[in-house]
Structures are given as C-alpha cells and as structure tokens.
Amino acid sequence: MAAPVTRLTIRGVIARKWRIFLTILAVVSGVAFVSGAFVLTDSVKKSINDVFATLSEGIDIEVRTSIAFGDEATAERDPVSVDVIDVVAAIDGVRLAEGNLLRAATVIKSDGEPLRTSGPAFGIAWVGPDGLDGRTIVEGRPAAGPSEVTLDKSSARRAGYEVGDTVTIVGPAGKGDFVLVGLNGTGKTTNGGGASIAAFDPVTANEFLGAENMVDSIYVAIDEGADRDAVMAAIDSALPDGLEVITGEQSAEETAGAINDIIDIFGNVLLGFAAVSLFVSAFLIFNTFAIIVSQRLRELALLRAVGASARQIRTMIIGEALVVSVIATLLGILAGMGVAKGIVAIFNAAGAAFPSASLIVSPRTVIASTVVGVGVTVAAAIVPALRAARIPPVAAMRPELGFNSLQKNKRLVVGSITTGIGLVLFSIGVFGQPGGTSGTLGLSAVGAILLFLGIASLSTTVAAPTSRVISRVLPLPFRPMTRSVPGRLGSRNAQRTPRRTASTASALMIGLALVSTVSVVASSVQASFKEQLQGSVTADFFVSNGPGNFQGLPVAFSERLSELPELSAVSPFRAATAQVNGDTKQIGAVRGSAFGQLVDIDLTSGSVESLDDGKILLHRDPARDYAVQVGDTLSILWLNGTEQQIEVGGIYDDATIAGNWLVGLSTLQAVSTATPTDFFIGAKIADGVDIEDARAAVEEVALDFPSAEVQDQAEFQQSQEDQLNQLLIIIYGLLIISIAIAVLGIANTMALSVFERTREFGLLRAVGMSKRDLKRSIRWEAVIVAVFGASLGIIVGIPLGLAVTTALPSTFITTTVVPVNTIIVILIASIIVGVVAAIGPARRAAKLNVLDAISTH
Amino acid sequence: MTSLSTAAAGAIDAFKIYGKDDSEVRALDGVTVTFASGKFTAIMGPSGSGKSTLMHCLAGLDSLTSGSITIGDTNLATLNDKELTLTRRSNVGFIFQAYNLIPTLTALENITLPLDLGGTPVDQQWLDTVVDAVGLRSRLNHRPSELSGGQQQRVAVARALASKPRIIFADEPTGNLDSRMGTEILTFMRHAVTDLGQTIVMVTHDPVAASYADRVIFLADGKIVDELDNPTADQVLDRMKRLGS
C-alpha cells in the first residue's frame, strides 16, 4: 500500500516543484529565525563563557562585599578596602591575593573623539605578569608608573594608536594623558570581548580611577596542595563583617550568567519574530496546498476512481507537505547559521568585538527547527488534505461535482466563535494581567492568534464585496480603472475565489495588524512622553554620556559644574537599588536644593528641598499602594544591608524624569561607598547670564569629559524621542519580514492562479489583449488583494493598539493617538506590495504561448 | 480564382517545419491559398494534415518557417508581437471549440471584449443586429457558467462578429455541441456570411458542417490536395474517403 502512495507523493512534489518553491521559501524564512536564534545564542554564550572561564582560570577564591538582596551578578557592590588584601594574604595556604579594580574609563581616539564600544569601557589595575585575572601582554610591556598605560589590542587599533603614542583617557576624576607602553589581551584573545580595557599599575589605577584605596574585590590563589575549602573557611573567619568568600568558578558563572541573560533576551526577541513569520507562513502553506488540491481535482478523483482510498489520498497530500517541510527545514537551519553569522557581523561592524567563535548547531537547534518547520507545514496542509480526501470518484468525469466546502453559515459561526474567544483571551491578558509579564504576553499572544484566525475565516465572507468596493474606490484618484478591461478582469478575478483571496490577504493582515498595533501604542507613548517632557523639564542644559554608552558620567563632572558662576542650580541624577518595605525598587538620588528648579515633578504635598534633610519623595501611585502621607516613615533596606527608617518628605504627580522614588544625594552617599556615576546632570542658567555664555562655560568643562554630551532643552527632548524612534525602527524592521512573507504569499497565489487560467489568458491574447494589458489585469488583482489585507490589518490592529494603550499605566500614557499618517503609509505600501507581488506572475502570464494555451487537440 | 484585391486573407508558399533532418515534420508544405471576402470557407483534412496549423498561422497566432501570410493588405511576417495583437483585435475574429469565454465576464462583456480592449466605441446598431441574430438578448447579463453549451457558443460567435473583423476563424466550432445546437450555430454562421457580409474560415472534420460553406479546401500532409465549391455533405464525405484511402 505504501509504495504507490510514496511514489505518487514524490512524483507530485517533483511535478509541482516550481509551484511549491515559494512555499519552501516561506518555511525557510521562519525556520531560519528559529535556528538563527538558537545558533546565535549558543555560539555567543559559548564564546563569552570561554572568555570568563579563561579570565578566572587562575582565581581559586574571590573575596567581595555581600549584598542584602537582589541579583548577585549585576549588583553594584560596595568596594573592599585595600587593607583587607593584606589580611587575606597573611592566611595560611594563600599563595597570592591581589586587588581587582575595574572602573569606567573612556579611551579618546587619536582624532579626539571618544572610542565607542559595544561593551563597557574599563580602566583596570594591572597586577603583574603572574596576575590572576587572565590578562596578558601581547606586545610591549605592562604599564609602570603614573604616566603609562596599556590598551587591549583591538581597542588600540580601532582608536588609531600604536605602542609609543600618547593616549588620552577619561577616568572618573577627569582626563589624563598616558604613554602607551604595551598592548594587552584577555586569555587567548587580543580584545576585551567588546569592552575596551586600559590597564594601569595599581598605584596609578587607585589614583586615576578615583578608587580611594578601595578595590572591587580580591582575587586569591592558593598554595599547591592546599585544601580550598579550608582556606575559604579561614579567610571567612578573618574577614570583617559585610564581606563574603566565593569560589572562582562561582564568580565566573555569575558574571557570564548575567551576560547570558542579555543574550537570551535577544534570542527570545528573534524567536518572537520567528513565531510571527511562521504564523504568516502557515497561511501561505495552507493556501498553496488548497490551490494545488483544487487544481488536481480531476487527478485526485481519478485516483479515487481507480481504487485509492480516501486515506491514501490524505496520506499523499500530507506526504507532499512532509517532503516540502523537510527540504525547507534543512535549508532553514543552514539559513539560520547565516542569520547568526550575519547578526554577529553586523554587530562587529557597528563596533562590537564578539569573540570569534565557530557556530554551534546543537541538537536542540536541529530538533526545535525541525519540530517547528515540519509541524507548521504539515499542520497547515491538514485541512487541504482532508478536503482532497472528500473528492467523490465521479468528479474524474464531472469536475463540477468537486468539493462540498464548509457551508457559509458554518464558516460564519466558527469564525465568530474563534474571533470571540480570541478577543476575550486578549482582553484578559492585556487588562487582567494575570501571572506577571509572561502571563500577560502569553495570554494576549494566544488571544491575538485566535483573533487573527477568526478574522481570516470571517474575511472569506466579505472578500468578494470588499474587493468590489476596493476596485471602485481605489482608482478614483486615477482614471476609472474599472471601466477598462484589465481593471474589470482584475477586479472580477479578485472576487472569483473569495476563500483564496481571503487567506492570501490574511497573511498580509497579520503583519500589518501588528504594525498598526505597534504604531498606535508607539505614537501614544511618544505623544504622551513629549507632552510630559514639555511639562516637566525646566532645566536649561542636560549633560549625559553620549548615545551608545550606557555607563554613567563621572561624578566629578557635576561637581565641576556646580562651581560655575554661570549656573544657578545643578543636580546630578543617580540611581540605586533598595528594598522598600521588602519590595525591590530603583531609587533616584538628586540634589534637593537644585532639582526643584530643573524638573517640575508636580509636587502635591511636602517640599523637594526636604530631600537634603534625608527625607524621601515618592510618586502618588506608590504613595497610594503603601498608604503613606508626608510625615509617615518607610523602611528602606539598601543593597549593602544598611536599613533605614526614612520620613516621607513629599508626594508628586509627574514621574516622567524622576521615576517613582527620590532621595537626596547625601542620603545615598551616607549608605553606599560604591563608586557612583550619574545618569545625567541638569543645570539652570543663573539670572542675567546669556545662554551662549553659559553653554560655552559648560562645554569648556565638558572638554575634560569627551564622552559627555551637552544638550539644551530642545536637544534633550529630541534625543529622548530619538531613542524611542530607534526602538521602533527595529520593531518595524523585523515586522517587515512578516510582510515580505505575505508578499511571497500573494505572489504565490497569483502564480498558481495564472497557471490555472492559462486557457483564459490564451483566449484573451487571441482576441487581441496586449501583453501590457494582461500584466495590468494581474497587477490590479494583486493590488486589490493587498489592499484588502491591509484594510483588515488596520481594522484589527488599531483597536488592539487602543486596548494596549488603555491598559498601560496612566503615568505612561496621557494622550492616545491614532497615527493617521502611518495608516496612509500602510495603505500606500500595500499597493506597492501588490504591484511587487504581481511582477513574477504577470511576467509569466505574458510569456504564455498563446497557441499552447488555446489548443484543445 | 478570386482576385487579390477582394481577398480577406491568404497564404503564399507557406512552409511550417518542425524538427530537423530525420525527425523533420512538415506541417505545412508549400501552401498557397486565398480566402475571398464575403465567403464561408471550410478547411478539411485528416488529423495531422496541417489544417489547424494553417489556421493558426493565418490568424497570426503562429509563425511560418517560410512563405508569407496576408490579412487584408498586411503581411503578418512584418509585424511584431504588439502589432500582431492589434491586428487580431481589430481584423480577426475567433470561435474556438470550447473554453471560448472569460468566466468572470458577462455575456455582453464577452461579446464586446475585443472592442473594449482597444477602447473602440461600440457600434450599438451593429451590436443589436448581432445580438438579435444569435437570439441572446435575454441572456446578456449572465455569466458563462449560467449559459448552456450552445448559448456559450452563440456568445462566442457574437463576439467574433462584434468588431466587424476582416475575417473570422472558427476552429471546430460545433465539435462540442449536440447536432441540434451544432445546426443552429452553423445556420447562424451561414447567415452571417450571406446576410451580414462577413468572411469566415472554419476548420472542421464534419462533412455536414463543411456543407454549410461556399468552398471546401482539402489538406493532406501539409499540402492542398483538393477543393470543392458549393459542396454537399455527400460530396465532401466522398472526397474525404478518397483522401483517407
């Protein structure tokens, strides 16, 4: 039984190889995302873990300050006094104890611009040729003395320096010039894994990096043959309170783990887009198989007539899908490796230095890709296969007895129910927000998928009338297309098989619905943000570390600005992690005397100045949640374990810049010895000082901090908006891929339809239709389908976007905007989509040999 | 012999050769023929005699290996694809055996299709004449799927006539119809030539169909082997039998 079915299956695929080519392409793109995400995360993680393993190879034990709560890997710990190094070194079994000091320090390139890195920019203390931190010298010699430095080789090259040059470096305390005496590497590599690393001798490092005789942690190597556990216990008992001992491996794991988490987020985003593109691909696959089945009606009926069972027919069609999916999955895994390599290359070109690693294709990658690729393809082919199996044998002679497809009423009911369930799930997900972020995302995603499926099913009912309306309305600005023959044919063909038109358009609908949703949310966030910024920013200048640099500004900057007579109020904005009544919160720290003049936080009670008296200010939302008023106290537990009862000094309405919690700088400094950096600095011009003079004075200070960027109010607002826009561009960019698949889908349906209408086109050409008009009619049909899909997408996407906007907290959204411009762009883009999708099929139709097309003999 | 000036179409020394050397097939092997305006001509011959090839070449759907085809005063060999399309649109009408109509267009839209394609205004009086002659007035707004086979073929004939072409080619127009409907179509084609002054060239293998023509041309092995003026079905059958033997 199996043999003839297998043979038919294989022959079927081969006979239709061009018709399923685009289907394969669509599956490939979805699988490529999945495999790309896994290959990328596996490979980058492996190489980063290798780097940290190398770095910690010589470290047996690490001594550091303990934290009261939170994530071990990412916490901003207090430093350790250098005195502890001697305590540790004196313990039995310790061979070597050295201070690990690592601070923000930016290298200034030979052209005067700061060197941009994908990772952090560090200055470190070089602990000698037998150092435990895995750093090596690959050229020249280590830095010794107050005027020498070494750089990692790749940063030195990118900054344009060679050994012997003088290098300018900006540290926490300001700018310094050093002679480059050597190039360092990390383990076996000659770069810092995306970071830039400037190494000084420990004395110079202590001075220049503003460490004040503190180190971040202490690295320990033990004597050969010594028992590590015993040494750890001995160190532990000798340490003052607040310090802890861990193994070198644990330290490496924690650091690598923190980076792995970031890589995982990136991988998950890719998987999210894989899901979208596979979902869209499923429509394409479904459509292709449905069309192929209906085109083979006679053949299938003949098979039935000569004795093939319904089950064999079903097996054959699903078998074809299986063959397609296996080919596509294999290609997709390969393409995924390309995707991973491409992303690494893009990041490296943008300044990242991913450790060069070979691509890792783990069994998990192959399994996941196969499950997804084969699963989606076969699942999408099931309905067409079932339909094929229902063909009565008599249809071989009388094709008009073909299918008895789903009744219109039944379709309406099924579609409505699916849409309804989808809506309910989506609403629960967005408004109820059960189970935190993953619950919200999961429920609303499932809801959206059901909603899309339901709408796709319902859209069959409206496909024909809507196409008619579109073909009447769309050409109004041009000449009346419907009166010309190509226009009429295109329009009629779009209405001809509503099911086909609907499922083709649905693929486009999904991509554009997501774009519409995102654009409503984004425009609303943007408008709200702009409104809030305008209402709250009163500072004349903002200084921050330039774009692409997520390290803060050295605190020395704000201290220098405070001394300028041209400025009347200067406050930095710092952040710290603390627990408020047991919940972990980000708390901002500002200068109370100045902040009120720089940012209008809409204080409803208390005073901003009370911050300088050690009080805390909070937004009305947490004030309501914790049921506190001015004068009440909150229990604050700082990261290093200090616990304080802090009095509420004020409650405010506007959290745009301030966030939900504010304390005074002095409060933070009193409890934390961690080296602070500033997110940004706000400054107000003193009375009577010209803005140009004030700016010149600020810029002069900034010369010593070359990575800093000075912005006036308008520039600051613009840069904040630009950041939001960049994020949007990335999201839109990835959604474009789903739209590209939809274009493939339309092209595919059109190509299959062209094939089906060979005879018709032959007749049209015979009675005098020009190739141009023939192409025009196909183009017109594709445009109608595309505009139909786009309209559905907009109709579905905008309410979804409005729902999400409504569900967002009111501190975030103050205005709701429906972006009319974006909608117009989407509609115009969909016309272009139609035209592009029709290029291939139209060309093919025009190439048809008239004689072959009309010959009946 | 009809003089060239009143010829609707003609072929001179027409050769159509497929393949090379041993596998060479001469579909047309030196055919010279003219079709007079206002006449109904039938082309007959056994399968593979070249009758369909001749018609396709005459209609500008296919090209010759050598020789020339003229429609009116135009030599088709000198035309590019676009000009050929225009020639077909305005000078040639077609009636095929089946699949004659565009399923998405109504009967009326199918009839005026060649005119609409060229943006030529419809001659309403002529259209009325044609529509009434084929008796389709009540079915004009129906789609082909709503018409019987005979009605569909009548729409096809009406379409061929609508643009008042120089010449109409019909390829087995009654091949798919039962004899009653076939008779109806043939009677109407005869009427179009006699009373409406049209020119029709019809390929057929049915002697009865051929008997409606003014003249029958017999083809065998790509050559014209015989012809017959004002034929009867028996005469045609007789000649066919002789050709076949």
A812-844 pLDDT, tens digit per residue, is 778 888 888 888 988 898 999 899 999 989 998
Q: State the nearest Cα–Cα gap between B62 and chain A, in angstroms.
A: 7
Measured between beta carbons, which residues in chain A are less than 8 angstroms from residue B59?
766
- The strand pair at B200-203 and B40-44 is best described as parallel
A758 interfacial to chain B (CB closer than 8 Å): no
Task: Give helix then strand counts, H and E, for chain B.
Answer: 9, 10
All structural domains of chain B, each given as residue ranges with its CATH number in brackets, are 38-50+88-244 (3.40.50.300)
**What pLDDT, on a 0 to 100 scale, did the predictor assign at position A126?**
85
Q: SS3 for A660?
A: coil
Q: Locate the chain B residue with the closest alpha carbon to A495.
A: B104
Average pLDDT on A774-781 reads 90
The span from the CA of A50 to the CA of A578, in Å, is 33
- List the 176-235 stretch of A: residues with Cβ below 8 A of B: none
A61-65 and A94-100 beta bridge pairing: unpaired
| Element housing A636 (H / E) | strand A633-638
Tens-place pLDDT, residues A367-387: 989 998 999 889 888 988 888
Model ipTM? Answer: 0.81
Highest mean pLDDT (candidates A353-357, A634-638, A725-729) = A634-638
* Secondary structure string (H, E, C) spanning A122-175: EEEECCCCCCCCCEEEEEECCCCCCCEEEEEHHHHHHHCCCCCCEEEEEECCEE
Please give the pLDDT value at position B87: 86
CB contact under 8 A, A488 and B81: no
Query: Which of B85, B116, B172 is opposite residue A485, by nearest beta carbon?
Result: B116
- The radius of gyration of chain B from alpha carbons, rounded to an integer in Å, stands at 18
CA distance A612 to A591: 7
**Confidence bin at A32 (pLDDT 50/70/90):** confident
Range name among A142-151, A538-547, B66-75 with the lowest pLDDT average = A538-547
Our CA-based measurement puts residue B82 at a distance from the nearest CA of chain A, in whole angstroms, of 7
**What whole-number percentage of chain B has pLDDT above 70?**
97
Residue that has been written with the tokens 């613009």 in this structure: A718
| A857 contact residues in B (CB cutoff 8 A) | 47, 52
Asked whether the predicted pLDDT for residue A120 surpasses 80, the reply is no
Q: What is the mean pLDDT of chain A?
A: 83
Helix (H, G, I), strand (E, B) or coil at A624: helix
Which residue does chain B place closest to A771, by CA atoms? Answer: B82
Q: Above 50 in pLDDT, residue B3?
A: no
Minimal-distance CA residue of chain B relative to A851: B61
Q: What is the pLDDT, as a whole number, of residue B5?
A: 47
Cα dihedral A422/A428/A430/A435 (nearest 10):
-120
Which of A483, A488, A767, A856 best tests the B interface by mutation, with the highest count of B CBs <10 A? A767
Grade residue B2 by pLDDT with cuts at 50, 70 and 90: very low
pLDDT band of A477, cuts 50, 70, 90: low
If you search the block for the tokens 């008296």, which residue do you land on?
A613
A793 has pLDDT over 50: yes
A vs B, Cβ pairs < 8 A, gives: 78
Q: Rounded mean pLDDT of A749-757? A: 83
pLDDT of residue A118: 66
Query: For chain A, which residues make up each domain, given as ranges?
Result: 1-78+247-405, 79-246, 462-537+713-857, 550-706
Strand partners, A185: A136
Is the pLDDT confidence value at A353 over 90? no
Under 8 Å between Cβ of A391 and A312: no
CB-based contact (8 Å) between A717 and chain B? no
In this structure, the strands spanning A166-171 and A243-247 are: unpaired
pLDDT for A518 beyond 60: yes
What is the rounded average pLDDT of the residues A317-342?
A: 89
Q: Does A766 contact chain B (CB < 8 Å)?
A: yes
Report the C-alpha gap between A796 and A801 in whole angstroms.
9
pLDDT digits (tens, 9 = 90+) for A37-76: 888 888 888 877 777 777 777 888 999 988 888 777 777 7
pLDDT category at A148 given cuts 50, 70, 90 is very high
Q: What is the mean pLDDT of residues A105-117?
A: 83
- What would the pLDDT profile of B228-241 be if each residue is shown by its tens digit? 998 888 888 888 88
pLDDT for res B40: 94
- In angstroms, the separation between the Cα of residue B52 and the nearest Cα of chain A is 9
The mean per-residue pLDDT over the stretch A343-355 comes to 68
- Chain B CB contacts of A765 under 8 Å are 85
Interface test with A, best of B61, B86, B95, B166 (most A CBs within 10 A): B61
pLDDT digits (tens, 9 = 90+) for B187-220: 989 999 998 889 999 999 889 999 999 999 999 9
- A contact residues 483-502, partner B, Cβ 8 Å cutoff: 484-485, 488-489, 492-493, 495-496
Of A496, A768, A771, the CB nearest to B118: A768
Once rounded to an integer, what is the mean pLDDT over residues A612-639? 90
CB contact burial A328-364 (16+ within 10 A = b; e otherwise): bbbbbbebbbebbeebbeebeeeebbbbebebbbeee
- Yes or no, beta carbons of B117 and A769 under 8 Å apart: yes
- The pLDDT of residue A400 is above 70: no
- Decide if pLDDT at A553 tops 60: yes
Write down the pLDDT at residue B1: 41
Cβ pair B94:A769 closer than 8 A: no
- Could you give the percent of chain B with pLDDT greater than 90? 31
Comparing alpha-carbon positions, the chain B residue that sits nearest to A491 is B104
**Is A422's pLDDT higher than 80?**
yes
Please answer yes or no on whether A771 and B81 come within 8 Å at the CB atom. Answer: yes
CATH of domain A550-706: 2.40.70
Question: Which residues lie below 8 Å from residue A730, measured CB to CB, with a gap of 6+?
Answer: none
State residue B186's pLDDT score: 92
Chain A closest-CA separation from residue B231 CA (Å): 26
- Of A247-251, A395-399, A581-585, the poorest mean pLDDT is in A395-399
CB A169: neighbour CB atoms within 10 A?
Answer: 24
Name the residue facing B114 among A484, A759, A767 (closest C-beta). A767
Three-class SS of residue B229? strand
Say whether B81 and A760 touch across the interface (CB within 8 A): no
Of the residues B96, B108, B168, the best mutation for testing chain A's interface (the one with the most A CB atoms within 10 Å of its CB) is B96
B contacts of A855 (beta carbons < 8 Å): 52
Give me the mean pLDDT over the A764-783 stretch: 89
User: What confidence tier does A188 reach under pLDDT thresholds 50, 70, 90?
Assistant: low
Look at residue A547 in the predicted model and tell me its pLDDT: 58
Residues A136-145 have a mean pLDDT of 87
Q: Are B96 and A857 an interchain contact pair (Cβ–Cβ within 8 Å)?
A: no
Task: Choose between A187 and A716: higher pLDDT.
Answer: A716
Position A294 scores a pLDDT of 79
- Full-model pTM: 0.75
Residues of B with CB under 8 A from a CB of A: 47, 52, 56, 59, 61-62, 81-82, 85-86, 88-90, 92-94, 96-105, 109, 113-114, 116-119, 159, 171-172
| Range A642-648, long-range pairs (CB < 8 A, 24+ positions) | A642/A671, A644/A671, A646/A614, A646/A615, A646/A616, A647/A614, A647/A615, A647/A616, A648/A606, A648/A615, A648/A616, A648/A617, A648/A618, A648/A623
